[in-house]
Structure 1
Amino acid sequence: MKSLRPVTMLQFILIISSFQISVAFLSIPRELARHAGTDGWMVIFLGWGLATLSSVAIVKLMKHSPNSSILELIQRYTGVWAAKIAAFIFMVYYLLLAYDGYMIASLVIKLWLLPSTYIYILVLLLLIPTFQIAQHGFQAIGRYSEIVTMLSIWIPFIYISTLSNAHWLYLLPILKEGWLPILSSVKFMIYPMLGIGLVLFLYPQLVNKEKALPAMIISNTLTCIVYLGITLICYVYFSPDEIGEYNDPVISIMKSVEFQFIERVEVVFIAFYLFVFSCIWIPSMYIVSRCSASLVGKGQERYHLAAWCIVIEISFLLYRPSFIKSTQINYALNYIGFMMEFALPAGVLLYVAIRKKMGGGQRT
Structure 2
Amino acid sequence: MQNSVKENYLVSGFFVFFLIFATQSGIGGLSSSNEVFTYSGQDAWISVIFMGLCLHLIIWMIYRMLGNPAKDIIDLHQMIFGRFLGNTFSLLMIGYFFVSALYVFRTYIGIVQVWIFPSIRTWELAVLFICLIYYLVSGGFRVLTGLAFFSTVTGFLLIPLIYFPIKLGNLNYLMPVWNHSVPEMLKASKVSYGIFIGFEALLVYFPFIKSVEKQAKWAHLGMLTNTIQFVIITISTLLYYSQGLLKNTLYPLLGITKIIEFEFVERIEFIFIFCWLILFFPSLCISIWSCTRILKRVMHLNPRTSLVMILSIFFIVVVQFNDKLKVDALGKFTINIGIYFVFAYIPLLFILYLIRSKRKAKLNAV
1:308 and 2:310 matched? yes
Partner SS for 2:177: coil
From 18, 33, 43, the counterpart of 1:14: 18
TM-score by length of 2: 0.92
Partner SS for 1:153: helix
Alpha-carbon contact 2:24-2:196 (below 8 Å) kept? yes
From 252, 257, 272, the counterpart of 1:254: 257
Partner SS for 2:244: coil
Runs of 4+ in 1 over 4 A off after TM superposition: none
More displaced 10-residue stretch of structure 1: 303-312 or 342-351 = 342-351
Alpha-carbon contact 1:58-1:346 (below 8 Å) kept? no
CA–CA distance in structure 2, aligned partners of residues 210 and 87 of structure 1:
22
1:185-237 Cα offsets, whole Å, 9 max, x none, are: 22223332223322211211112313333222111111111111111111011
Aligned to 2:113: 110
1:150 and 2:173 matched? no
CA–CA distance in structure 1, aligned partners of residues 199 and 104 of structure 2:
17
CA–CA distance in structure 2, aligned partners of residues 211 and 334 of structure 1:
31
CA–CA distance in structure 1, aligned partners of residues 99 and 181 of structure 2:
35
Distance apart, 1:164 and its partner CA: 2.3
Q: Where does structure 2 lack aligned partners over 5 or more consecutive residues?
A: none
Shift of the 128–162 alpha-carbon distance from structure 1 to 2, 3 Å rule, reads same
Aligned to 1:202: 205
Alpha-carbon contact 2:5-2:207 (below 8 Å) kept? no
Q: What's the Cα RMSD here?
A: 2.0
Aligned to 1:40: 44
After superposition, where does 1:67-106 map in structure 2 within 5 Å? 68-106=71-109
Shift of the 245–354 alpha-carbon distance from structure 1 to 2, 3 Å rule, reads same
CA–CA distance in structure 1, aligned partners of residues 354 and 33 of structure 2:
39
CA–CA distance in structure 2, aligned partners of residues 178 and 302 of structure 1:
50
Distance apart, 1:64 and its partner CA: 5.0
1:98-135 Cα offsets, whole Å, 9 max, x none, are: 11111001111111111111111101111112111112
After superposition, where does 1:161-180 map in structure 2 within 5 Å? 161-180=164-183
Aligned length: 359
What is the identity, as a one-letter code, of the residue corresponding to 1:339? Answer: Y
Aligned to 2:324: 323
What is the identity, as a one-letter code, of the residue corresponding to 2:309? Answer: A
Aligned to 1:281: 284
CA–CA distance in structure 1, aligned partners of residues 155 and 196 of structure 2:
20
Distance apart, 1:252 and its partner CA: 0.7
Alpha-carbon contact 1:101-1:281 (below 8 Å) kept? yes
Distance apart, 1:163 and its partner CA: 2.2
More displaced 10-residue stretch of structure 1: 101-110 or 306-315 = 306-315
1:62-103 Cα offsets, whole Å, 9 max, x none, are: 02541x211023223432212321222110000001111110
From 201, 223, 243, the counterpart of 2:226: 223
After superposition, where does 1:26-65 map in structure 2 within 5 Å? 26-65=30-69
What is the identity, as a one-letter code, of the residue corresponding to 1:327? Answer: D
Shift of the 28–8 alpha-carbon distance from structure 1 to 2, 3 Å rule, reads farther
Shift of the 174–356 alpha-carbon distance from structure 1 to 2, 3 Å rule, reads closer
1:160-192 Cα offsets, whole Å, 9 max, x none, are: 123221111111111233444223422223332
Determine what percentage of the aligned residue pairs are the same residue: 18
